[in-house]
Amino acid sequence: MVLIGVAIVIIGFIVRLNPLLVVTVAGLVTGLVAQQSLFDIIEQFGKAFTTNRYMAIFIATLPVIGLLERYGLREQAESVVAKIKAATAGRIINVYFFIREVAAVFGLTSIGGHAQMVRPLVAPMAEGAAEAKYGKDLPDDVRQNIRAHSAAADNIGVFFGEDVFIAIGAILLMKGFFDQNNIPSDPLQMAMWAIPTAIAALIVHSIRLNMLDRSLDRRFGNKQNKSAGKGE
């Protein structure tokens, strides 16, 4: 019954409720099912808030990104990538994915992020590469697909890369859980076992991004060839 919070999160995301509300309700329900008092639950929320300082990041990051976008950061990113002939949407995202995962391996999880990198730089650069190759009139579903792949690259890269770093929260959490249950564990061994998974994630996601480029070629390649033929 303690795992009912997981079910609440899954259902909430399926019906597309506000993520913050879903997670908060899941935490409250989980605590109550675990027979914790409402005071203890709220105290844990407050402790997590002050420890991680998420609000400080939120306050500092969004105004800066907003100002940069106001003065043409997205447009400049698109124009720079459009000048690189070999650039494609999949290749741009794959480069970022590689950097994100390798950085996470060394514990540099703060390098990147949806608000800091994906929205203002990575997604516009990937869209700019697609526009340079297939034209400016890309359908909205294609743009949303490129943006989704950009966001996914950030999530997957940091998720599978950070477990290789022994001082990351996930490793320490598993170490603490095993110690509480009298199970011998070594953080270095856990990190070593994460290396094959990180390599597999890199290969699999690189293939997915290559498939993204191929799908765009199949959809717009004929139009591109026809336009070139008319120009001649």
Residues 179 and 108 grouped into a single domain:
yes
Mean pLDDT of the 22-51 span: 78
DSSP calls for 111-171: S--IIIIIIIIIHHHHHHHHHHHH-S---HHHHHHHHHHHHHHHHHHHHHHHTTSTTSHHH
Mean pLDDT of the 152-168 span: 87
Residue 118, pLDDT > 70, answer: yes
Note whether 122 and 79 are within 8 A (CB). no
Q: Is residue 232 part of a domain?
A: no
pLDDT value of position 72: 64
Domain span including residue 90? 50-227
In angstroms, what is the C-alpha Rg of the chain?
22
Residues 25 and 134 grouped into a single domain:
no
Q: Is residue 44 part of a domain?
A: no
Ranges 26-30, 60-64, 198-202, most confident: 198-202
Mean pLDDT of the 83-106 span: 89
Total of domains in the chain: 2
Average pLDDT, the chain: 80
| 106 CB neighbour count, 10 Å cutoff | 12
Say how many residues make up the chain.
232
> Which among 137, 145, 126, 118 has a CA at the least distance from the CA of 81?
126
Residues 102 and 25 grouped into a single domain:
no
